[in-house]
Structure 1
Amino acid sequence: MTPQTREQKMLSLAPRANVVFEINLNAVQANFQIISAVVGPYVRVAAVVKSDGYGLGLIEIARALVAAGCDLLFVGDLHEALLLRSSKIGAAVAVFCDEFTRLRQYYRSNRLIPVVNNCGELDAISASGEAQTYFLNVETGLSRVGLTFDDVRRRYLWGTFNRHPPSVVLSHLACGDRVADAMNVLQRNRFRAISDLLKPARHSLAASAGVWLGKSYHFDMVRVGSALYGLNNAGIQPNPLQPVVRLRAKILEVRNVRKGEAVGYGATFRTVRASRIAILGIGYKHGVPWACGNKISVRFAGYSAPLIGRMSMEYAVADATDVPEALCGPGVFAEMLGENFTVNDLAAAADVYPQDVLTRLGAGCTRRYLNASYPAGESRAGQPMQATDPTTPRSSREVASE
């Protein structure tokens, strides 16, 4: 037997992880197919994998989505785009925002599609005189980035778009998660006015929440992020999406405390009876919101145990008095997130944004993946996925295969 190195010996002595954060790639693929079915065969579903795949792992998520049939990925910056390219992910890649004017050579050499967000970037494309595939982001009511209607009209009159037409015109809804909000109609009408002027190959207004607003918001491309990862931010009932993540924490110690004892910092909880408490090896360092102390429960098999006291950096405390002792001894794992209590539920309890919870958990926990339905990087037929032109309408063969 080969002798162990000092580092290998140290690793073998390391304790098992106190936190298990599972990511179900099958569920990510299933959610992609669910969204595809909702929008129909003539609307392309692009996947937003920015911010390290919403904290779930850029490369792993992208491979699973491409294997499920996705051919266009949106990332947040050039760094993420280059990671996808170096990993041989077979899909078109669009970059939401990263100094296209200064870094243009990297876009060209790596076949990356810039999302043009301002007049300076558009003017740089026009001034170069070179052919450049790009997506044009237009401002319709979010007041974040994108060309205004006046910007677009001015450059339309100058002939900019005749010389350098965008492949896709896109915008972003401010209130897509609120079905009855009048802002949605206002932004849709503004978007139509710009699209009618430019007549691009494709139009994209809706992101995840906007998908549920109906066909008049789908146009011919939707950009889906949070829904792929199981977040039901629009509150659709019954929830059509599959949960993607499961979070479990190990019991480090079980102890008995008397009635009237304080638990945790600030003594925000005092026992009202003699209690048996379980100390869990999870805290806000792992991405669990500090504000969820005294507000949520964990589960041991079919039993629920409320978290009591404030969350600590590396610890949480569950009142396990009503849980059979055989189910909650040291070394046993409690479930914090799963099918019965999702990221949306945790976010609501802590009054934070679900995407905030997901990205923090992904950054703070060691990720464990449940395999995708078919090998990453391969199509359903087992052939390597090839990057396709996202502006090309789906063929009848593609439609029939879904």
Structure 2
Amino acid sequence: MLASVRPADVVLEIDLSAIQANFQTISALVGPKVKVAAVVKSDAYGLGLVKIAGALIEAGCDLLLVGNLHEALLLRSSHIGADVAVFCDEFARYGGHYRSNGLIPVVNNCVELDAISGAPEPQTYFLNVETGFSRLGLAFGDVRREYLSGIFKRRPPSVVLSHLACSERAGDAMNLLQRDRFQATSDLLKPALRSLAASAGVWLGEQYHFDMVRVGSALYGLNNAGIRPNPLKPVASLKAKTLEVRKVARGEAVGYGATFRTARASRIAIVAIGYRNGLPWACANKISVRFAGYSAPLIGRVSMEYITIDVTDVPETLCGPGREAELLGDVFTVDDLAATAGVHPQEVLTRLGVGCARRYLDRSPASAGFPGNLTDAGHEHDPRAIPG
């Protein structure tokens, strides 16, 4: 219980209505004939599985994809009313849990397919096929052999899916190669639904949409395909408290390695966030934060729990102890931070989600009138969540 009452010096604010708007944007782009499934694996990219799932269901989503059985059972125990499919299925080992909880395994190899075939009762499942990613999924030779054995006639998959390796680069020849391979496999199996595109693949056009798209990063405001103007709403904002402001003389070193020296007499704010919270170490001396709209540069290295900000040009009343520094928001997003630090935006988001307290915002009209439009995540599922 101690974790639930720790001071919230670092807060990751998550806009639920922005996630819903991004779901609706993708739905409008692919059109009514294409199903939009939501990928909420890895604790909804670090933003809180149950809370995000609930917001997506309110937006009209009826299929959630999780990373493992633990996440699937957490959704079921939270009475989430949607179909739930599990990427890393282990049906051969935990088939009873799938059947008793109405879960859908994503079959990735012949062992799991044999377990589906040998199950005493018919089992709904998705089939993952390998088309050029070289990760999980049955290769075409495996699919053909199993097809000839009659497995797919006895127990057909409800969805055949694959994953694009280079969808963030629209002109990459791998996209067309994988699409053609996927088309050949799905022509053989003739499933009820076919799914090739994830978030970035949605922007490749309707020839990649097939019957269903699986959207993860785009829901959370990450524009991996670099579409301009950006049609996605930013979801996450990041704020951290100022602990102390100190005066530093001209020419003094700041932080580990003395990577920064003051060029003038300066005021330096010590802000309570570091790489333990998920802030990339590589953004040292590269980004700025905002105090009530004033921009101030991060100087020196990122420490485990602190950063140092040059607030010489910020009014003292706006950046003193207890004041919040905004690191991420509408002006500087997760995509911007990732590009500056040279890391992947999904990595930034999931690490921040693990390392920070979460506060949920809901700016939808239905939430109007509630104080601050803040929602508590529920300590029984997430001890890092803080009340509004």
State whether TM-score is above 0.5: yes
The answer for the alignment partner of 1:20 in structure 2 is: 11
State the one-letter code of the partner of 1:177.
Answer: E
**Alpha-carbon distance in 2 for matches of 1:373, 1:139:** 40
Letter in 1 for 2:205: G
Greater mean deviation of Cα atoms: 129-138 or 208-217? 129-138
Matches within 5 A, 1:60-71: 60-71=51-62
Tell me if 1:134 matches 2:125.
yes
Structure 1 residues 323 and 375, CA gap change in structure 2 (3 angstroms) = closer
Q: What residue in structure 2 maps to residue 107 of structure 1?
A: 98
Q: CA offset at residue 198 of structure 1?
A: 0.5
Q: Does 2:253 correspond to 1:262?
A: yes
Q: Residue in 2 aligned with 1:399?
A: none
Could you tell me whether the CA contact under 8 Å between 1:139 and 1:171 is conserved in 2?
A: yes
Query: SS at 1:79's partner residue?
Result: helix
- Checking the alignment, whether the CA contact within 8 Å between 1:64 and 1:372 is kept in structure 2 is no
SS in 2 for 1:103: helix
Which runs of structure 2 are paired with 1:111-260 in the superposition (5 Å)?
111-128=102-119, 130-260=121-251
Note the alpha carbon deviations across 1:143-174, whole angstroms, 9 max, x for none: 00000000011111111111111000000000
Aligned residue in 1 for 2:273: 282
The percentage of counterpart residues that share the same residue type is 74
- d(CA) in 2 for partners of 1:218 and 1:15? 45
| Among candidates 88, 100, 116, match of residue 97 of structure 1 | 88
Matched letter for residue 108 of structure 2 = N
Deviations 1:3-25 (A, max 9, x none): xxxx99xx9xx784211211000
Is the Cα–Cα contact under 8 Å of residues 72 and 91 in structure 1 kept in the other structure? yes
Which one is further off, 364-373 or 274-283? 364-373
Question: Is the Cα–Cα contact under 8 Å of residues 286 and 365 in structure 1 kept in the other structure?
Answer: yes
Question: Which residue in the other structure is 1:397 paired with?
Answer: none
Unaligned 5+ segments in structure 2 are 368-388
Alpha-carbon deviation of 1:301?
2.2
Structure 1 distance, partners of 2:176, 2:335, is: 26
Q: Name structure 1 gaps, 5 residues minimum.
A: 1-6, 377-402
CA 1:259 to 1:239, structure 2 compared with 1: closer, same or farther past 3 Å? same
Please tell me whether the aligned partners of residues 91 and 115 of structure 2 are also in contact (alpha carbons under 8 angstroms): no
Distance 1:296 1:263 in 2: 16
Structure 2: how far apart are the matches of 1:330 and 1:373?
33
Superposition RMSD in Å: 1.8
Question: Which deviates more, 299-308 or 60-69?
Answer: 299-308
Please state how far the C-alpha of 1:350 moved relative to its aligned partner: 1.1
Aligned partners of 2:31, 2:347: CA distance in 1, in Å?
30
DSSP-derived class of the 2:43 partner: helix
| 8 Å Cα contact 2:89/2:107 also seen in 1 | no
Q: Deviations over 1:252-300 (max 9, x none)?
A: 1111111111100111111111111111011111111111111111011
How far residue 128 of structure 1 moved from its aligned partner, in angstroms, is 3.2
Paired amino acid for 1:34: T
Contact 1:29 1:372 survives alignment (8 Å): no
SS of 1:249's partner is strand
Evaluate the alpha carbon distance shift between residue 130 and residue 16 of structure 1 in structure 2; reply closer, same or farther with a 3 A threshold.
Answer: closer
Deviation at 1:127, TM superposition (A): 2.8
